[in-house]
Amino acid sequence: MKTLSPPVKILFYAILVLAAIIAIYPIWFVALAAIRPGQRLLTLNLVSMFIPAEITWDNFNMLMFEKPFFTWLKNSLFVAGLTTIFCVSLATTGAFAFSRFSFKGRESVLVLLLAIQAFPGVLALIPIMQILRSLGLFGSHWGLILAYATGTLVFTTWNLKGYFDTIPIDLEEAAMIDGAGPIQAFIQIALPLARPALAVTALFGFLAGWNEFIMAEVMLVGKEAMYTLPVALNKLAGDRTVPWGLFASGALLISVPTLIVFLSLQQYLESGLTMGGVKG
Amino acid sequence: MGVSIRGWRKTLIIALFILPTILGVTLLSLYPIGYNIFISLTNRSRFYMQAPANIWECVPKTPRFYCWNEPLLGNYIELFGPLLEGAALLAWLRFGLLFLPLIITNWLVSRTKKQSLSPPDTWWWWLVSMAASVAMWYVADVQGALNVLMRANDFFVVMFRTCLYVAACIPLFFIVGLIIALILNNDEIKNKGAWRTLLIFPWAVPSYITALIWQFFFRTEQGLFNQVLRSVGVANPPAWLQVDVWAFAAVVIINLWLSYPFFMTIILGALQSIPADQYEAADVDGATWWQKLKNITLPLLRPAVMPAIVLSSISTFQMFNTVYLVTDGGPIRGAGQPGATEFVMIYGYKTLLRGDRYADAGAFAMVIFILLFAATLFSLRMTRITKGAYE
């Protein structure tokens, strides 16, 4: 490859710096509001929209020790964790079968799954609530987990199926000739090889459970002890006089786990998404 | 797999692997669709709210109880009817004329490419046809035609605006994602991992938080943009969220910020799978940077990027959270009219569901569903065709 000429190189770095500033700034802005005294998100002092003038930890203190923050955190971890587990286990088994077994109606079920994705989610809320109510899961965390896990299932099943398709079948066949059953071949051979796509599946499951608030707000209405973090945060923002400092510190605390999960799975993200071929 | 398992054991194992998925999807995805079909055939609304004791023996127009609509497809007719009447049909025709030059050019280009071994450069044909399209805008009075259709009913208004939104967003996502991915894929850029980490932030932070934050940047008085604009001497910066065009631009900008990391990631992954010898061979032939991009990079990106574009188009079409939090569908021009950023999902939620127009909402959802379903199937066929290029 030819080497870059200095002006081009400078231009490239300039673009990267600018893009990075734009990418980070809104989060920096939240951090500023969280450590600023008072409950204001905006100030008319332009400089303090970029650099903190005064630092206080009051907002974090208030959120953690005057509000039931740790209860909300526990609820959120429970919901997001179980959503991840359900999502990964359902999607892997389903995707493996779609990739490895041939059976009647396989193609049509796959296409049907994809088509379901096209249904406008917001308008499905009412019937989903109905179903959960008749299952006796309305207003419980289990209902949310069920709804979130199945909501992400279509994408993750397709993505994983695409990934399994790229793994040569020979290894599993060899194992089965050596006497392993299909379930053993699945767990011991296919799963470890599909690690990047599994990481993506887990990521999507976790995000679905950790971030959703519209359904959770309707289901958990009035039950403050059962709120997940996004619901609690959204309630704060819905107050008449919004305590923005408090909101900002909560937003920051909610974002930390997703950032950690994202950055630690980042190495798998590219191959886990691209190799799947059809990301439907 | 087809190795040692047969018969009932095979059936059992397949069932074991697949049934949980199928059950979950049926329960929480197929049922809502079925329920929506049912509701869309009734007259359920504010005045006919409660379920009748027996839907098969209900009496139409009994106060408080809903029943089958008369005519049964009435809600659908309400949606489409006004768009298929005399003046509206003519307006559709005029609207179609806008695309005529482009369609003709496309046909001509593909014909010449097939016929000659060394196809001529056709880029200026496209320029001419675009100019012709612009001329057509005035000749056929497309603006007037659109106004006719928009007056016909809300359905066209929100569909048109949503399509415009998708058409504005997707190319921007792709171009920004491509530029950053190309830079990050260059071997002479140092600390790639760190840059990538910083640039993926918008994807990693919950979008309902960042959308809410962005809304503050666009405020007229205290918003960041206008404070910066004022400090560099712009006396009257736009009232972003109060003016139709600027509000539209604002939700495009926010969505760009939220979505480019996904494209960047996909494109980076695909770029890394392009073999280096392709570029080396092109360098030997003295190809320019632009030629390499056009003839090697873009065609080889296609199989990986097409599905991302389709997926992203569908989710942009269905965008709800972000726009709802930022503009709430506004700015609104008059009572009973959809706001300037009232895209399909916002309309379905705000105007129909919150207005207790359940049956209308059901029909609306079904139409959107069928349209997106068709688009999904179509794109699936397209990506299947291009898939071969990867291997």
Per-residue pLDDT of A206-245, as tens digits, reads 998 998 888 898 888 888 889 999 998 888 877 777 788 8
**Model confidence over B95-110: pLDDT tens digits?**
888 888 889 988 888 8
pLDDT at A126 over 80: yes
Q: Note whether A46 contacts B22, CB cutoff 8 Å.
A: no
Q: Are the C-beta atoms of A185 and A63 separated by less than 8 Å?
A: no
ipTM of model? 0.85
Establish if A68 touches chain B: CB-CB under 8 angstroms.
Answer: no
Q: Is the pLDDT of residue A278 over 70?
A: no
**Could you give phi then psi for residue B68, rounded to 5 degrees?**
-60, 145
- Single-letter amino acid, residue B4: S
| B388: pLDDT strictly greater than 50 | no
Answer whether A280 touches B (CB < 8 Å): yes
Contact B25 A147 (CB under 8 A): no
Listed by start position, the domains of chain A span 6-56, 66-274
The closest alpha carbon to A78, from A2, A170, A169, A143, belongs to: A143
Contact status of A239 with chain B (Cβ, < 8 Å): no
- The confidence band for B90, taking pLDDT boundaries of 50, 70 and 90, is confident
Residues forming beta bridges with residue B50, ordered by sequence position: B65
Task: Tell me the per-residue pLDDT of B295-346, one tens digit each, with 9 for 90 and over.
Answer: 888 888 887 788 788 888 888 998 888 888 888 887 887 777 788 888 999 9
pLDDT of residue B384: 63
List A residues 176-215 in contact with B (Cβ-Cβ < 8 A).
Answer: 176-177, 182-183, 210-211, 213-214
Position B286 scores a pLDDT of: 85
A218 closest CA partner among A146, A128, A151:
A128
Q: What contacts B151, CB < 8 A, 6 or more positions away?
A: none
Which residue in chain A has the smallest CA separation from B29? A116
Q: d(Cα A153, Cα A109) in Å, to the nearest integer?
A: 13
The token pair at A114 is: 């994809």
Residue B383's pLDDT is 66
pLDDT at A277 > cutoff 50: no
pLDDT band at B166 (very low <50, low <70, confident <90, very high): very high
* C-beta atoms of B35 and A127 within 8 A: yes
CATH of A66-274, one of 3.40.50.1000, 3.40.50.800, 1.10.150.120, 1.10.3720.10: 1.10.3720.10
> Which residues on chain A are in Cβ contact (under 8 Å) with B31?
127, 131
Average pLDDT, rounded, for chain A: 85
Q: What is the pLDDT of residues A236-273, one digit of tens each?
A: 877 777 788 888 899 999 998 888 888 888 888 877 77
> Residues near B301 by Cβ (< 8 Å), separated by ≥ 6?
B178, B267, B270, B271, B274
Residue A36 distance to chain B (closest CA, Å): 16
Instruction: Give start and end residues of each alpha helix (H) in chain A.
Output: 6-35, 58-66, 69-100, 106-116, 125-134, 141-166, 170-177, 182-185, 191-193, 195-211, 214-219, 229-238, 244-274
Q: Write down the pLDDT at residue A84.
A: 95
Inter-chain touch B280–A277, beta carbons under 8 Å: no
Average pLDDT over residues A72-84: 95
Give residue B390's pLDDT.
Answer: 37
Fold of B154-391: MetI-like fold (1.10.3720)
Model confidence at B119, in pLDDT bands (50, 70, 90)? low
Whole-number Cα distances in Å, B369 to A129, A211, A253, A273, B38: 20, 25, 37, 25, 14
| Of B390, B371, B205, the residue nearest B305 (C-alpha) | B390
For residue B121, pLDDT beyond 90:
no
Q: Is B27 on the interface with A (CB under 8 A)?
A: yes
Q: Looking at the complex, report in whole angstroms how far the Cα of residue B387 sits from the nearest Cα belonging to chain A.
A: 8
Asked if B344 reaches chain A (Cβ–Cβ under 8 Å), the answer is: yes
Asked if residues A172 and A101 have their Cβ atoms less than 8 Å apart, the reply is: no
Tell me whether residues A26 and B213 touch, CB distance under 8 A: yes
Cβ B344 vs Cβ B317: under 8 Å:
yes
CA–CA distance, B86 with B127 (Å, rounded to integer)? 34
In this prediction, residues B160-182 reach a mean pLDDT of 95
Q: Which residues pair with B42 in a beta bridge?
A: B68
The pLDDT of residue A279 is 35
Over residues B346-352, mean pLDDT: 85
Lookup result for tokens 């088994």: A93
Contact yes or no for A24 and B198 at CB 8 A = yes
* Interface contact A1-B369, CB threshold 8 A: no
Task: Mark yes or no for CB contact A273/B188 under 8 Å.
Answer: no
SS3 of residue B147 by DSSP: helix
Contacts of B14 in chain A (CB under 8 A): 97, 101, 103
Q: Which residues numbered 9-38 in A keep a CB inside 8 Å of some CB on B? A: 9, 12-13, 15-16, 19-20, 22-24, 26-27, 29-30
DSSP string, A221-242: TT-GGG--HHHHHHHHHHSSS-
B285/A contact by beta carbon, under 8 A: no
Separation of alpha carbons A169 and B3, rounded Å: 11
Query: CB–CB of A119 and B33 under 8 A?
Result: yes
Residues of A in contact with B349 (CB under 8 A): 122-123
How far is the C-alpha of A269 from the C-alpha of A259, rounded, in Å?
14
pLDDT tens-digit series, residues A136-166: 998 899 999 999 998 888 888 888 888 888 8
The mean-pLDDT minimum among A182-196, A234-248, B147-161, B254-268 falls in A234-248
Q: How confident is the model at residue B391 (pLDDT cuts 50, 70, 90)?
A: very low
Contact of A47 with chain B, judged by CB distance below 8 Å, is answered with no
Average pLDDT over residues A45-57: 78
Q: Identify which has the larger pLDDT, A130 or B336.
A: A130
Is 60 exceeded by the pLDDT of residue B159? yes
CA torsion A216→A124→B371→B156, rounded to 10°?
A: -90
Of A20, A111, A169, the CB nearest to B199: A20
Distance from CA of B201 to the nearest CA of A (A): 6
Over chain B, what is the mean pLDDT?
85
CA distance B3 to chain A (A): 7
Q: Where are the alpha helices (DSSP H) in chain B?
A: 7-25, 31-40, 74-80, 86-97, 100-115, 123-139, 142-152, 154-184, 192-199, 201-204, 207-217, 224-231, 244-272, 276-284, 289-292, 298-317, 321-326, 344-347, 358-387
For residue B29, give the nearest of A22, A116, A169 by CB distance: A116
Residue B3 has pLDDT above 70, yes or no: no
What proportion of chain B, given as a percentage, has pLDDT over 70? Answer: 95
pLDDT of res. A217:
87
CB-CB contact of A230 with B206 (8 Å): yes
Percent of chain A residues topping a pLDDT of 90: 24
The CA distance from A26 to B203, in Å, is 12
Q: What is the model's pTM?
A: 0.87
Q: How confident is the model at residue B267 (pLDDT cuts 50, 70, 90)?
A: very high
Closest B-chain CA to A101: B1
What is the widest separation between alpha-carbon atoms in chain A?
73
For testing the chain B interface, which of A123, A229, A254, A267 should be mutated: the one with the most B CBs within 10 Å?
A123
Residue A186 DSSP one-character state: I
- Chain A: residue whose CA lies nearest to B218: A42
Which residues in B lie closer than 8 A to residue A23 (C-beta atoms)?
198-202, 257, 261
Of residues B62 and B289, which shows the higher confidence score?
B289
